[in-house]
Amino acid sequence: MSHPIHLDGASLTIDQVVGAARDPSISITLDPAALAALGQSRALIERAIDEGRTIYGVNTGFGKLANVRIATDQLDELQVNLIRSHAAGVGDLLPREVVRAVMVLRANVLIRPTSGVRPQLVEAVLALLNSDIVPAVPEQGSVGASGDLAPLSHIAQVIMGEGEVLARDGGREPGAAALARAAIAPMRFAPKEGLSFINGTQAQTAILSLLVHDAGVLWRTALASAAMSLEALRGTPTPFDPRIHAARPHPGQQVAAEHLLTLLDDSEIRASHLDDDPRVQDAYSLRCLPQVMGAVRDAIEFAERVCRIELNSSTDNPLVFDNGDVLSGGNFHGQPVAQALDFLTIALTTMQAMTERRIERLVNPDLSHGLPAFLIENPGLRSGYMMVQITAAALVAESRTLTVPASVGSIPTDANQEDFVPMGMAAAFKAARVLRNAQRVVAAEVLCAVQGIELLKPLSPGRGVRWLEQRVRDPEGPAIAPLTEDRSPAPDLERLARAVAAGELDPVGLL
């Protein structure tokens, strides 16, 4: 049974976000002490309003209109108007898991006392999550500052009893109907609450959370796939000797080398060509695995560090402090998240590009050191896995076009008040597409490498590669049969890609 998630604004983890996003049965609760502190913060805001202090977004307009003072009897209307006017998203809808992740992050940020909202608003978000009411949120329309305004506004609309939610049949239904069915009363936003809700990086950070988790799974799977290719190509593990990597101690490089030695341990294939192999060195796509895959791991860890900080940070504006100060700043700016997403995109493209080069070596008889052309007996009459390499090349080519950083592509908005924005959601969508491509390229390598291992029988590979081979052949898993005659690779590739994405080929238990 999954553990409940307890939100306190300070300790939310990436794994918890992923769990809550993908498993609606997980219970989410709020920390009483954090709620009490939030109530005290809210009292400071209400006192400031009563004192007639001018506070951005509480009794003023927004953005370019910040110099417009709003009458006291219109402060609630100001927040409602903000949400309605900013729900300007377009395009396809965000997946359920992404929207759920956004709501978890939003609740965790709002419960921090710097938000100055009423505890009831955080409880309203939790009510949606625990009832699995998922707002319909269009993908496009956020530039990542001042926060993810449009996506968060579409969620806020549902809290008000407006907007639409995702129906169980895949369509949409009115938000009011979903709230009524769950016996949840619509909530009217009070002063500051609309701005606090929509002013933050939670949409781009939600996607980063899911991607960082999935990229870690993919990295380990890709390392196992690479080890299988090295065995099929009868490469040497000598370049993974820890002394080499101690001489250049990048953390990821050392971890990758250590994991590769573990995966390749106890290999009959290696023993069979240990003494009489005329080759002195393998190609870079085998020999330099620790250096390249290590750099990819370090990039994933960088993105993870950014994500961990962002999960438990105050990203709305203005912020309320315990001495009563209400300060305007720019914590809503998504530049740290956007840059992490761009870096992740580059790293995942690097990984799949190197993977494709090993696929080429596996299917090319001039490079495969004795394997039949395209990994099929009687090549010529049969084409084997010729097209698998071409498919991988197409995926890598697409990913390369997506590596241009979004975070340097600012277009000024809001009458030039918001004159430098990070385009974090564009970075997120590119990273997500590149991750999916990378999962399929790794699936293609697994398909070819396991066939290469098949053709070397009765010799057995290292224990980690044996484990991967068994998982691939498992009737309860991908159930990929050896290739003895031509068949369409597409179904096998898709089954393997799903297994890669689901973590079914992740050797984490061996490492």
Closest-CA residue to 104 (of 126, 71, 136, 80): 126
Q: For residues 245 and 227, give the distance between their C-alpha atoms in angstroms, rounded to a whole number.
A: 18
CB-CB contact of 455 with 372 (8 Å): yes
Stretch 307-313: mean pLDDT: 98
- For 325, phi then psi, to 5°, come to -65, 140
Q: For residues 104 and 19, give the distance between their C-alpha atoms in angstroms, rounded to a whole number.
A: 10
Q: For residues 307 and 108, give the distance between their C-alpha atoms in angstroms, rounded to a whole number.
A: 14
pTM score: 0.97
The pLDDT-based confidence of 262 (bands split at 50, 70, 90) is very high
Q: For residues 229 and 287, give the distance between their C-alpha atoms in angstroms, rounded to a whole number.
A: 12
414 pLDDT exceeds 90? no
Establish how many alpha carbons lie within 13 A of residue 489's alpha carbon, considering only the half-sphere containing its beta carbon.
Answer: 24
Look at the block and give the residue holding tokens 């939790």: 126
User: In this predicted structure, what is the pLDDT of residue 114?
Assistant: 97
The structural domains of the chain, ordered by start, are 5-200 (1.10.275.10), 207-315+329-510 (1.20.200.10)
151-177 per-position pLDDT tens digit: 999 999 999 999 999 998 889 999 999
What percentage of the chain carries pLDDT values higher than 70? 100
Stretch 464-485: mean pLDDT: 97
Mean pLDDT value across the chain: 97
Q: What is the DSSP string of 5-51?
A: EEE-SS---HHHHHHHHH-TTS-EEE-HHHHHHHHHHHHHHHHHHHT
Q: For residues 448 and 489, give the distance between their C-alpha atoms in angstroms, rounded to a whole number.
A: 10
The pLDDT-based confidence of 280 (bands split at 50, 70, 90) is confident
User: In this predicted structure, what is the pLDDT of residue 1?
Assistant: 53
User: In this predicted structure, what is the pLDDT of residue 415?
Assistant: 85
37-76 per-position pLDDT tens digit: 999 999 999 999 999 999 999 999 998 899 999 999 999 9
Tell me which of 16-20, 273-277, 475-479 is least confident: 273-277
339-398 per-position pLDDT tens digit: 999 999 999 999 999 999 999 999 999 999 999 999 999 999 999 999 999 999 999 999
Q: For residues 125 and 37, give the distance between their C-alpha atoms in angstroms, rounded to a whole number.
A: 18
Which residues share a beta bridge with 379? 382
- Please tell me which residue in 56, 302, 321, 467 is annotated as part of the active site: 56
The pLDDT-based confidence of 308 (bands split at 50, 70, 90) is very high
Q: For residues 190 and 57, give the distance between their C-alpha atoms in angstroms, rounded to a whole number.
A: 11
Stretch 439-464: mean pLDDT: 98
Which residue type, as a one-letter code, is found at position 327?
L
Please say if 56 is a catalytic residue. Answer: yes
Q: For residues 96 and 135, give the distance between their C-alpha atoms in angstroms, rounded to a whole number.
A: 8
Record the tokens describing residue 151, joined without a space: 């996506």
The pLDDT-based confidence of 276 (bands split at 50, 70, 90) is confident
Straight-line distance from the first to the last Cα atom of the chain, in angstroms, rounded to the nearest whole number = 25
Parallel, antiparallel or unpaired: strands 138-140 and 164-166: unpaired
306 pLDDT exceeds 90? yes
